[in-house]
Amino acid sequence: MIGAAVDDRADSLVVTSIATWEAAGRRTADWSKPVGLWTRRLWLVAAAALAGWAFWATGLGRRSLVNPRGWPQVRSFLAAGVHPDLSGEFGKIVVDATITTIGYALLGSLLALVIGLSGGLFMSELWWRRPRHPSGRPRLIWFIIRSLAVVPRGIHEAVWALSLVAILGRDPLVGVLAIGIPFGFITAKVVAEMIDESAVRPYNALRQAGSRRLPAFAYGVVPVVGSDVVSYAFYRFECAIRSSVVLGVIGAGGLGFQFAVSFQAVRSREIWTLIYTVVLLAAGIDWWGARLRATASRRRIVLSLVVALALSILSVVHLGVSFRRATSARTQRLFTRFLHESWPPRLPLGGWHALQRAVLDTLQLSVVAISTAALLAIPLGYLGSRRRTETAGRRAVGWFTRLGLLVLRAVPPPIWASLFLFVLLPGPVPGGFALGCYTIGVLGRLNASVMENIDRRPGRVLRRLGASRTAVLSYADAPLALPRVVALSLYRWEVTIRETVIVGLVGAGGLGRLLGQQQAAFDRAGIVTTVATMIALSFLIDVISSRLRRDLR
């Protein structure tokens, strides 16, 4: 199964286009305007300065970051890797935790699909076009809906979970909602993007012929984007599994929770069992998703939907999800109190200075993570990409690279952070590296897909006129792949900004840590400020990165 997940080629095109949909920025951007050499140089200098600052500020190379006493611990931890805890007692715990993790992910993705489908419709430009002016600007309401949808999507699952716990208490519904709401709004954006990208012409043709809005959508849009939406939904499920593990770390139960328990007790053999479990789980779901996307066979899709539905019902029972608590008078009271305590927002302890400090730390964390990851993901993506013809040695290298990337992204960032804390002193460095590890895993896979799908013809032509392999790489393959690789790395930077929350919560610093402190002190009004700052920061990064993507294109 791992072999198949690591070896699926047909999937790579779909994976890159999914990333492109997610990365799609404001479509009004003018792509045709040529950009001067100086603009590019300016960006490069700015990027280098930012990365330089981020690394300098960590104190890397200036003060000791390594905890030398940790080495024996690392050695014994690594030694435990060959004999993980396979006892029946722990095995039962792991199986139970795995079912819990899958359950949250499944119910969360189902909710996300419901939100995504309905939201996607209303977020598409197409829905709001004035019927008489199919090419005119969409109505104002479209802009408002789109802008409002940024908020739920900009709040990380972990933050949703912490806020919902305040209202619902420790209820299984929290995990489902915490995954379902943000993922739902991301899905809605992607669905809207798909609709506006591919269904405009068929829809307009039907409207022109006098059809009403809803039938025109049913005949002109649904068939066009249907299969893409299905494959995206299953891709989201893969992401939901990872999220579900992360939520476990902060208390929702399941594999993440077991990780935290085993870490606290420093039971290395159990940690290894859990690592192997998450890797197997990730591989299995990758494999399932790849099968599904590779052949858009109706039978397989229907089968998957039926299985998903059956498993969802089982999950509801297993997790004990019910709305009884959510609709109780107590919840209403707590919700009112929650709103009351949250408003008006208040600055964190330490005022503007503390907030500014946290923003800079978050920025620094994200830059350390993304620049390490972006640089390493290029060679790893290259090694991990598949070729039509390859020697046995090259194939082995590719297979192991892909396996490594799978492990990097299957193990959640807080776990990486805990592992780094064996040898590194606490602070932004282990947090940055932990996020970096995870991002390498994701970005390496995306880069590999880009490199597998570039146009091979120019390279073949140069080969035919006698150019060496390296010359072909530098004159054809690299220039063709690089713009997309850079665009994907910039897109992952936005994601990384949001993800800093989870390493922050476990102590790496930045807005995440601030949030953790405020959570512990029940400072709701402060949390609102921190979350708003977070959203503003990721919005700013989104603006910068889409500018950059355009200028470097």
Partner 1 sequence: MTDQAVVSLQNLTVLRGDTTALADISLRIRSGERVALVGPSGAGKSTLLHVINGSVPPTSGRVEVFGADPSSLTATSLAALLARIGTAYQDLALVGPLRVIHNVNAGRLGSWSLGRALRSLVKPVDITAAKVVLARLGLEDKLWVRTDRLSGGEQQRVALARLLVQDAELILADEPIASLDPARGREVLELFCGIARQDHRTLIVSLHAFDLALEMCDRVIGLREGRVVFDAAPENVEPAMARSLYDLGRA
Q: Which residues bind partner 1 (CB under 8 A)?
A: 32, 34, 455, 457-458, 460-462, 464-468, 470-472, 474-476, 479-480, 482-483
Minimum Å distance from CB 374 to partner 1? 18
Residue 168 or 450: which CB sits closer to partner 1? 450
Residue type, 240: A
Q: Which of 491, 473, 477, 475 has its CA nearest to residue 538?
A: 491
Minimum Å distance from CB 466 to partner 1? 3
**424: phi then psi, degrees, rounded to nearest 5:** -105, 145
Residue 34 or 68: which CB sits closer to partner 1? 34
Minimum Å distance from CB 379 to partner 1? 17
Residue 43 or 338: which CB sits closer to partner 1? 43
Residue 223 or 479: which CB sits closer to partner 1? 479
Nearest-5° Cα angle at 111, 530 to 146 = 55
Minimum Å distance from CB 90 to partner 1? 53
Minimum Å distance from CB 37 to partner 1? 8
**DSSP 8-state secondary structure symbol assigned to residue 473:** I
Between CA 453 and CA 195 the distance in angstroms is 24
Residue 35 or 305: which CB sits closer to partner 1? 35
Beta bridge partners of 439: none
Q: How far is CA 373 from CA 71, 107, 377, 441, in A?
A: 24, 31, 6, 8
Minimum Å distance from CB 459 to partner 1? 8
Between CA 303 and CA 313 the distance in angstroms is 16
Minimum Å distance from CB 487 to partner 1? 12
DSSP-derived 3-state class of residue 60 = coil
Between CA 60 and CA 42 the distance in angstroms is 26
**In 129-199, which ranges are continuous DSSP H helix?**
140-154, 157-168, 172-198
Minimum Å distance from CB 32 to partner 1? 8
Q: How far is CA 382 from CA 4, 244, 389, 462, in A?
A: 19, 30, 15, 20
Residue 311 or 552: which CB sits closer to partner 1? 552
Residue 477 or 542: which CB sits closer to partner 1? 477
Residue 225 or 476: which CB sits closer to partner 1? 476
Residue 448 or 454: which CB sits closer to partner 1? 454
Minimum Å distance from CB 214 to partner 1? 40
Residue 214 or 465: which CB sits closer to partner 1? 465
Minimum Å distance from CB 125 to partner 1? 26
Q: Are 128 and 138 in contact (CB under 8 A)?
A: yes
Between CA 509 and CA 431 the distance in angstroms is 8
Handedness of CA 160, 161, 165, 171 (dihedral sign): positive
Residue type, 441: G
Check residue 349 and give left, alpha or beta (phi > 0: left; psi -120 to 50: alpha). beta
Minimum Å distance from CB 468 to partner 1? 6
Q: How far is CA 287 from CA 9, 19, 94, 217, 401, in A?
A: 11, 18, 21, 32, 17
User: 147 is written with which tokens?
Assistant: 């802008």
User: CB under 8 Å to 285, separation ≥6 — which residues?
Assistant: 237, 238, 241
Residue 251 or 458: which CB sits closer to partner 1? 458
Task: Estimate to the nearest angstrom the gap between the alpha carbon of 317 and the chain centroid.
Answer: 28
Q: Are 160 and 173 in contact (CB under 8 A)?
A: no
Residue 82 or 465: which CB sits closer to partner 1? 465
34: number of Cβ within 10 Å: 6
Q: Are 43 and 548 in contact (CB under 8 A)?
A: yes
Minimum Å distance from CB 484 to partner 1? 9
